[in-house]
Structure 1
Amino acid sequence: MQLYNTLSAKERAALIEQAGEDRLTLSFYKYAQIGNPELFRNHLFVAWDAMDVLGRIYVAHEGINAQLSVPAKRFTEFKAFIDDIYFLKNVRLNIAIEQDNKSFLKLKIKVRPKIVADGLQDETFDVTNKGMHVDAEKFNQLIEDPDTVLVDMRNHYESEIGHFKNAVTPDVDTFRDSLDIIENDLKDHKEDKKLVMYCTGGIRCEKASAYYKHKGFKQVYQLEGGIIEYARQVKAKGLENKFLGKNFVFDHRRSEQISNQVIARCHQCGEPCDTHVNCANEACHLLFIQCESCAKKMNNCCSTDCQDIIKLPYDEQKRLRAGKKNSNKIFKKGRSPVLKFKV
């Protein structure tokens, strides 16, 4: 039984182009008690591979977190399949604001200890005892309340290109880093302030809302469906859009335009820009913001050192990035002294 990809990303991209058919980029998550994540993972892979579903999916004892690309013509079949899984019936599907047929080029379903890494070892923490979900309209009302503290539960590179007006945006690299920081900053307001949180699609907020309730916060709210669903509701209901800039997404698109403001700047020259790229040097692969002018000047690299490396023969480049020590430097998110204008 095939339980792995047989095509490279390049081969899959060519097939998608040849097919010339629309695909839907979507995401969903669900906290649930999964007894055998490995068996569940295999069940999903067999079914979704047959439907030509692509994406990045994490399965754990605590639930599932999925970001997917589904052939539009097979969406009904896909929806029927997940509705047939008891804990996924009628799960909210966050349809991407901006569609791209090549948002995902492989089907990767991985079993993980948790669907959202939190670093918590608290056996009494109940992730299903979550805060109150609010829609876009109620969210807009809450964040104008002087007794509300609005917190962005995403990482620094996400909030840098887009966030809600007046939001607290912790300068953190991971979700687990933000939990203790926020609790400490708000420890004196567990009863008198409304704690309102948001993230990309809702999954981090859901865990955070349960965690802060567990820690004694009395008024805990989360934006249902995250920024993705907020943008959909704002458009559908004609509401005021209080989000500034772009929403960072974890696929080949890297972001979705939510409003026209450009609130970030190029990390190399300081000009207004909110386009994330990866350094062309594969041994670096640094994620950073780069304008078109700097991309041309720097050959799509983050530094002159990386420019020198990509001029080397491929075998020499491959040798330079070999080894655990070097690989640990890859996939850093905008944390580098070579970036002069990183806030």
Structure 2
Amino acid sequence: MQLYNRLSAIERAALIDKAGEERFTLSFYQYARIGNPEIFRNHLFIAWDAMEVLGRIYVAHEGINAQLSVPAKRFNEFKDFLDGIDFLENVRLNIAIEQDNKSFLKLKVKVRNKIVADGLNDETFDVTNKGVHVDAAAFNELIEDDNTVLVDMRNHYESEIGHFKNAVTPDVDTFRDSLDIIEEDLKDHKEDKKLVMYCTGGIRCEKASAYFKHKGFKNVYQLEGGIIEYARQVKSQHLENKFKGKNFVFDHRRGERISDDVISNCHQCGKPCDTHENCANEACHLLFIQCEECAAVMENCCSTDCMEINRLPYEEQKALRSGKGNSNKIFKKGRSEKLKFQKKT
């Protein structure tokens, strides 16, 4: 039974180019009780590999979180497959605003402890007891209410390039970090304020809304479908767009433009820019904002040190990083003493 990718990313990209066929980038999630995530994982991989579906999917006892690239000609087959699974029937699919046939180049279905890492060990917390879902029109009205506190549930490097008007944007590296900060900051307003949250596609807000209800907040709302669905509804219903900038996405595109506003700066020269790149030095791979000019001068690297390393022959680079862990640097996305114009903590 084949449960792994037979092609490299380079080989897959070449096949996609040769085929010249349209693909849809989309995402979905669902909280549900999955008894055996390993068996479910294998079932998904076998079916989706046969459909030429690519993407990054996490499966856990609490549900599924998926970001995918699906061949357009097999979309109906893919949808029928989902509808054949009880808890995924008619699940909302967030279709990307900006399409890219090579948004994903491998199929990765992984079993995780949780589909959204939250660091919580509270067995009395029921993730299905969620807040009120609101569409784009209702969301626009809510966030103009003086009794509303609007909170961005994403990480600092996401909100840096785009966020809603008047949103609180916690300066955090992880979803877990934001939970305690928000609860502490709003502890005196659990009953008199409307807590409205948003994230990329809704999955983090779903868990956060249930968590804050568990913590005693009485009026909890979340933007249904997140920024992705909001942008679609704003366009289709001709609503006022209250989101400024780009929406960070977790595929090769790294961002979808929602408005023409550029609200962030190149981390190296400071000029207006909202394009994320990963440092070309594989031993670093730091995520940061880099303009075209700096990318050319710095050879897509975050520093001169990384640029010098990246110029070395591949085997020398591999030997240099052998046995060395850089996870902390990678984890602290957009934070490095080498980035002069990085977002300040």
* Coarse TM-score class (shorter-chain normalised): over 0.9
Match of 1:118 in 2: 118
CA contact (8 A) 1:130 1:209 kept: yes
State the identity %: 83
CA contact (8 A) 1:245 1:258 kept: yes
**What is the Cα deviation at residue 329 of structure 1?**
3.6
Give the match's secondary structure for 1:325.
coil
Give the match's secondary structure for 1:273.
coil
Structure 1 pair 242–326 and aligned structure 2 pair: CA distance change class (3 A): closer
Match of 1:256 in 2: 256
TM-score, length of structure 2 as denominator length: 0.98
One-letter amino acid of the counterpart of residue 216, structure 2: G
1:19-75 Cα shifts (integer Å, max 9, x gaps): 110000000000000000000000001100000000000000000000000000000
1:66-119 Cα shifts (integer Å, max 9, x gaps): 000000000000000000000000000000000000000000000000000000
Uncovered stretches (5+) of structure 1, i.e. residues with no partner: none
CA contact (8 A) 1:285 1:332 kept: no
Aligned counterparts of 1:256 and 1:288: Cα–Cα separation in 2 = 16
Give the match's secondary structure for 1:109.
strand
Counterparts of 1:63-82 in structure 2, within 5 Å, are 63-82=63-82
Match of 2:138 in 1: 138
Structure 1 pair 326–169 and aligned structure 2 pair: CA distance change class (3 A): closer
Aligned counterparts of 2:317 and 2:234: Cα–Cα separation in 1 = 47
**What is the Cα deviation at residue 325 of structure 1?**
2.7
Does residue 1:275 correspond to 2:275, yes or no?
yes
Aligned counterparts of 2:301 and 2:324: Cα–Cα separation in 1 = 22
Aligned counterparts of 2:187 and 2:114: Cα–Cα separation in 1 = 27
Give the match's secondary structure for 1:181.
helix
**What is the Cα deviation at residue 307 of structure 1?**
1.3
Give the match's secondary structure for 1:64.
strand
Give the match's secondary structure for 2:91.
coil
**What is the Cα deviation at residue 324 of structure 1?**
4.4
CA contact (8 A) 2:173 2:332 kept: no
One-letter amino acid of the counterpart of residue 182, structure 1: I
Aligned pairs, number: 343
TM-score, length of structure 1 as denominator length: 0.99
1:218-251 Cα shifts (integer Å, max 9, x gaps): 0000000000000000000000000000000000
Aligned counterparts of 1:304 and 1:332: Cα–Cα separation in 2 = 19
Aligned counterparts of 1:304 and 1:122: Cα–Cα separation in 2 = 46
Uncovered stretches (5+) of structure 2, i.e. residues with no partner: none
Aligned counterparts of 1:75 and 1:230: Cα–Cα separation in 2 = 22
Aligned counterparts of 1:146 and 1:100: Cα–Cα separation in 2 = 40
Aligned counterparts of 2:327 and 2:59: Cα–Cα separation in 1 = 25
Counterparts of 1:1-343 in structure 2, within 5 Å, are 1-326=1-326, 328-330=328-330, 332-343=332-343
Aligned counterparts of 2:284 and 2:236: Cα–Cα separation in 1 = 42
Aligned counterparts of 2:325 and 2:7: Cα–Cα separation in 1 = 29
1:297-323 Cα shifts (integer Å, max 9, x gaps): 111111111111112221111111111
Aligned counterparts of 2:209 and 2:111: Cα–Cα separation in 1 = 24
Superposed CA RMSD in Å reads: 0.8
